[in-house]
Chain A
Amino acid sequence: MNQLQNFTKGFLKENPILVMILGACPTLATTSSMINGLGMGLATTFVLLGSNTVISMMKNVIPDKVRIPAFIVVIATFVTIVDLVMQAYVPSLYDTLGIFIPLIVVNCIVLGRAEAFASKNTVWSSVVDGAGMGFGFTAALGVLGAIREILGSGSIAGLKFISGDGILVFVLAPGAFIALGYLIAIVKKVNKA
């Protein structure tokens, strides 16, 4: 597998959210608007890049039996960095995303890539894998956020294009489940074709 395929597999074919259905919690919770979704996606991408890089560097040092706790500590370190940086520089986004920033640590995507990819591959391919997966995650969050924002409040990235309200339910909890359900069905169809 060349590096380009390695990078692009996260977009559609192995998209962490839409195909593998991992990390559904932040996906549903932070996509009430496009900006929030992208913010969460970028925060997770940073953690994914950092943990993939460090874990693939340390894969020969970490004993096999304690690898999962070791991975979790590495991931938690990067999550703490993101948490503190976002609190300092983008406080409003930090407040909106709230508890879901520390919860990146239990996001199955991050640990999943560490276990399935970074612990077996070279540093460079792990970086590429992390970037590709992070990009796929961010894109899925952005798309879902955009769909919910357009339908729910009639705006995109905060710019309103209809007067009055949208279909309110799409901004609220039920709309998140329903929109993600249909998005997954569509991606399934596209991947099969």
Chain B
Amino acid sequence: MTQIQDKPLAAGRKAKTAGRLGRPSMFSMLLRDKFATVAAALLGVVILIAIFGPALMGELATKQNLMFMNKPPFDPANGWAYVLGSDSLGRSMLARLVVATQTTLLVAVPAVLVALIIGSLWGVWAGYHRGRRENISMRIADIIMSFPSLLLAVVVLFVFSPSAANIVLILAITRIPIYMRTARAESAELQSRTFVDAARTFGTKPNSIILRHVIPVVTPTLLTLATLEFCFVMLAESSLSFLGIGIQPPDVSWGLMVAQGRQYLQTAWWLSILPGLAIVITAVAANVLAAWMRIATDPAQRWRLTLDKQTKKSLTAVIKDAK
């Protein structure tokens, strides 16, 4: 067993000293994986559109033009504004998609961040202390998990105003247990390790052990989870908007656009299909990036991304021989 593991490691070390790489940066590792590079670029474009798009095309998105009702997309005769077609009020689909990008991300990103921070800190704390604090925290997570989130959404919609901030709140609360469970499991395992014991022996306070020794170790796992969760939260927001209990008109999100276009499906397919495609592409990109992060942040697998093609080939051959 040790022999099998030693060979590629030795070869890897040789390759590293031969090349100019010491410990490769995340960026150079990203460029090694073509799929991940494309995914990261796509997400970057989506984020740029979300930040700058509405300022450029906001007016166009609300401008109605009854001469251009339900124009099909990809028809150069209609001019660049209608390149993706227009809706039943003659508004440009391109501009509306751009504005919806911002709404969608403004819900998904804060929801993921809030859930990530609260859930991870709580989970790490519970896992580090074990005992009663752990049990109570996990029961709370169970309760949140088994609560019908739709009901929560409807309550917030009717009791408070149906704003984007409230949807962020609901999505964050319902996703906190996911991070809690992962963080608790990891930190419960870590707190029995020797280096944590050593810190404890030197009289370090629990909070600073958590902050300095536990959190840095669990962060990569949790960040990967957050990338996957971004995909889930975006889909959840679309579903809520689709059911009419998420983003409310005149605001517009991708999910809401799919819902609004549903009744025109037979006459104007692009009203539903295009925003749906936007959701799918963004979600797939986030998924691919998460898969790459899982490898890049795992010390046992990272070597796959640090080597150039030639060494990788010989390495794989070495591993095969060893097997």
Asked if A pairs with B, the answer is no
